[in-house]
Amino acid sequence: MSDQESDDAGERQSAMDAGLKAELLAQCQVLGVRQSDGSFVKRPETHRALKAILDWLRVDDNGHVVLQLGKWETVHNAILPLIMAYPGDTPLCTIVLQILVAMLAPVPADATAGGTRRHHQLLHKRAICKSSIFAIALYHIRDAVECGAESRTPSQHKRMLLVLTFVQHVLAVREEGMASMFDGLNDRCLLVLSRDHVLDLLLYLIETEPTDNATALGRNADFNHLTAVPLLLLDCVYQIFRAESPGQLLLAPDTTGASIVNLLSEENTLLGRSGRSMPSRHSRFGGIVRVNAMGGRTRVLSGSQHAGSYAGATPESSVQPRPTAGNRIRTFLTDEVRQVFLGFAKRIHSNLFNDFLANVLSDRSVEKNLHEEILDDRMRICLCALLHVIAFFLEFNREFYSHGDASNEFSVASVSTVLSEENRALICDFFRRCSSTNDVALLRPSLLCYKEMLRTAHRLADVNGGDPGGSTWLLDSMNAIPHRLVLPDLLKRYSVNHNPLSFLAVLLETIHFQIKVLEKGTNRDAAPRKRRSRKSPDPERCDDDEDDSSDDSDDDVGYDRDAEATDFIERLAHPKAVDNVMLIFNGYRANSQQLNHFTLRILHAVSVRVPCAPMLFRVSYLSLFEEILNSDSLKRDKSFDELRTFSKHIARAFFSMLATNQSLIIEALFPISRKACEILNDTGEFGLQVRKSATATARWSTEDDDILRKQIESLAESASFYGDIAQM
């Protein structure tokens, strides 16, 4: 196509867009009119205009219509006032909810003007939370809820799907990475859902909706989004708990802090001295107060939703040092939001959640998709939500008993209320199948769920105090070979250069707890083996030999106890895996203290337990350890003591080995394999001596020459010697 033809096509596209804007604007202008008394009145053409806007949204693949409606603030100025003025009009409510669902649909990552569209969605969510549309939507599905799933008509079922999809879309709009004007919007939305009894409806439907057959899941229903009521409910639960930590919910609320005015005046004074503008903002929206302080410190404010200051608190009490530089934000929920979260979580955890999960996971179509390498997009979203919710409630169950008054009640029975043995086996199988693909979006939630099961197994072993009776069933499952062999392979394949750091952090934490669970499981079996070896000595041996055999049996028991964990760590001792771990360790200043701890524990296991310390003797790694040891700022920070201790250990091992092996400097320029580590570690503590195998050829000596010469002389004296040589 020539340049002239391209210009003509661009002009035609611009003209078409201008015509579409004019027609769309004309439809928006007839949606209604606001009277002088503030009331909103619809026009005769309102229903026709709404249907026209909905048709445009359904064919709007590029998001142009959504952008225009967002720029004109149509939702805030016309659509929401219209539904608020006529709450009893069922056809009007239905078409308005369909428009809002289309406008709040997830924005693809590569979409044109994706950031602008997400910003408009946040504005729509804030306007929705200030209205009463949730209560109006629930009013129109009251008959569908009362009649039950068995007696529900197709039209009632479709309206319920629409309302649940609307709630799910509103919850799915997040403010991560956006301006601070939306701080606390998710918590504000949760309070509105609690006030309008939407959370009560979700809990009631989770308890009553049938999930034991494919027809009940509704995959054949005529609807354009997630068509299954149970799976929509599951995704709503996931969106509610998506950004919250169970440990934070169960901790006592933080009441320390200072007034916003004092903090902002203090920050303005500091900024005025430095001549810089104010980079941080504050927000008190929905009971949340967050103030970003200067100098790598975070000031945390929390209190009631209507309190302006906090009596008895000083500015110094709210200052919390951070191990990393830069500005950070921490959020503490107020009592009102915390109670909503806890009430919702406890009701699901107590008697609803496991039955619901068992029915969904045992569905034939779900089981079929678990065994397929390519999943449908709708099923992918459902499975991700399912695994995230399982991981959340496993952690919630563990934290609930840890922070409760009766922490010793944590047992297999309490875990079974969250996840049954059949569901656990199905999740482990799904995790193993996901590991064979490069789908990080689906692998991450399955890895997260497997990690929480490992932590639960480790917690059970600690509570039982080494008694295998209570935790055998879970430890045996976590020690299954096909599951744990997946983790070393993932560590070799995924690097922080091409994958999110959050995914690698979950992977390292999973590996750390896999090692701990393996140690718990093997230590559990060590004592019975030791007792059996002492009760059945060899009857043919004498007393001295019997004593020696008991010592040997102790050594064998010790080897068997560590064999499983050692074998797993040996699979981690690979140059590519170590390099991926060191890439994460390279960002130790920006990493969280927990991530640095898991990284060091894995490196410590590889360098000491196997041992493969020479793998860390590369020049790039040694320069990083030198930087940690020579940093004056790290010496003053207690949170980096573990890093400094490990760096000293590696440096000491390197120079000790270098004293007896000068060629180690050349080895440090290249990746060192595990075979090379065995050669370097062969002579005692440190040094170089090539290990002789059992089949190695012995060195030829002068005694061997004398024996060979005598044999030749004896054969040469015989008469048939030369004849035998000729025949050969």
191 and 233 share a domain?
yes
Query: Could you give the count of Cα atoms lying within 13 Å of 368 in the half-sphere of its Cβ?
Result: 5
How confident is the model at residue 563, as a pLDDT? 75
For residue 620, tell me if it sits in a domain: no
**Residues in Cβ contact with 159 at an 8 Å cutoff, skipping those fewer than 6 apart:** 94, 140, 141, 144
Could you give phi then psi for residue 457, rounded to 5 degrees? -60, -40
231 and 287 share a domain?
no
CA distance 20 to 60: 12
How confident is the model at residue 408, as a pLDDT? 55
CA distance 641 to 646: 9
26 and 128 share a domain?
yes
Report, as an integer, the average pLDDT of 327-345: 60
How confident is the model at residue 621, as a pLDDT? 87
297 and 150 share a domain?
no
Three-state SS letters, 494-516: CCCCCCCHHHHHHHHHHHHHHHH
Domain count, the chain: 3
Q: Of 307, 332, 357, which residue sits at a domain end? A: 332
270 and 326 share a domain?
yes
Report, as an integer, the average pLDDT of 336-364: 67
Three-state SS letters, 516-568: HHHHHHHHHHHHHHHHHHHHCCCCCCCHHHHHHHHHHHHHHHHHHHHHHHHHH
- When comparing pLDDT for 487 and 410, which is higher? 487
Compute CA distances 414 → 171, 291, 471, whole Å: 30, 39, 12
| pLDDT exceeds 90 at position 598 | yes
For residue 691, tell me if it sits in a domain: no
Report, as an integer, the average pLDDT of 257-263: 39
| pLDDT exceeds 90 at position 243 | no
Could you give phi then psi for residue 663, rounded to 5 degrees? -75, -5
38 and 181 share a domain?
yes
Q: What is the pLDDT of residues 2-54, one digit of tens each?
A: 455 444 444 444 444 777 788 888 888 888 888 888 888 888 888 999 999 98
For residue 391, tell me if it sits in a domain: no
Tokens of 585: 């360790």
How confident is the model at residue 433, as a pLDDT? 77
232 and 268 share a domain?
no
144 and 33 share a domain?
yes
- When comparing pLDDT for 687 and 570, which is higher? 570
By mean pLDDT, which of 134-143, 420-429, 486-495 is the weakest?
A: 420-429
437 and 321 share a domain?
no
The model's confidence at residue 379, banded by pLDDT at 50, 70 and 90, is low
- When comparing pLDDT for 241 and 250, which is higher? 241
Report, as an integer, the average pLDDT of 473-495: 75
For residue 697, the 8-state DSSP code is P
Could you give phi then psi for residue 34, rounded to 5 degrees? -95, 125
How confident is the model at residue 599, as a pLDDT? 93
Report, as an integer, the average pLDDT of 410-415: 67
* Average pLDDT of every residue of the chain: 70
What's the CATH code of the domain at 109? Answer: 1.25.10
How confident is the model at residue 376, as a pLDDT? 62
Q: Domain of residue 128: give its range.
A: 21-241
- When comparing pLDDT for 151 and 726, which is higher? 151
304 and 434 share a domain?
no
Report, as an integer, the average pLDDT of 657-686: 72
By mean pLDDT, which of 74-78, 264-268, 421-425, 592-596 is the weakest?
A: 264-268
Q: Give exposure, 306-345, as e/b (b: 16+ Cβ within 10 Å).
A: ebeebeebeeeebbeebbeeeeeeeebbbeebbebbbebb
180 and 219 share a domain?
yes
For residue 264, tell me if it sits in a domain: yes
- The one-letter amino acid code at 189 reads C
67 and 110 share a domain?
yes
Report, as an integer, the average pLDDT of 351-379: 60
> Residue with structure tokens 């999960």?
357
| pLDDT exceeds 90 at position 108 | no
Q: Note if the bond before 445 is cis, omega within 30 degrees.
A: no
Report, as an integer, the average pLDDT of 407-427: 69
For residue 181, tell me if it sits in a domain: yes
For residue 657, tell me if it sits in a domain: no
The model's confidence at residue 718, banded by pLDDT at 50, 70 and 90, is low
| pLDDT exceeds 70 at position 138 | yes
The model's confidence at residue 377, banded by pLDDT at 50, 70 and 90, is low
Q: Of 285, 317, 332, which residue sits at a domain end? A: 332
Note the pTM of the prediction, 2 decimals: 0.68
How confident is the model at residue 100, as a pLDDT? 92
**Highest mean pLDDT of the ranges 42-51, 53-62, 609-618:** 42-51
Phi-psi region of 684 (alpha: psi -120 to 50; beta: other; left: phi over 0): left
- How many C-beta atoms surround the C-beta of residue 538 within 10 A? 9
How confident is the model at residue 672, as a pLDDT? 79
The runs of H, that is alpha helices, within 209-352 are 214-217, 229-241, 246-250, 260-274, 335-351
Q: What is the pLDDT of residues 501-532, one digit of tens each?
A: 888 999 999 999 988 888 876 555 544 444 33
For residue 578, tell me if it sits in a domain: no
How confident is the model at residue 20, as a pLDDT? 78
Report, as an integer, the average pLDDT of 447-460: 86
The model's confidence at residue 128, banded by pLDDT at 50, 70 and 90, is very high
| pLDDT exceeds 80 at position 145 | yes
For residue 11, tell me if it sits in a domain: no
Tokens of 199: 């959370």
Q: Of 313, 332, 351, which residue sits at a domain end? A: 332
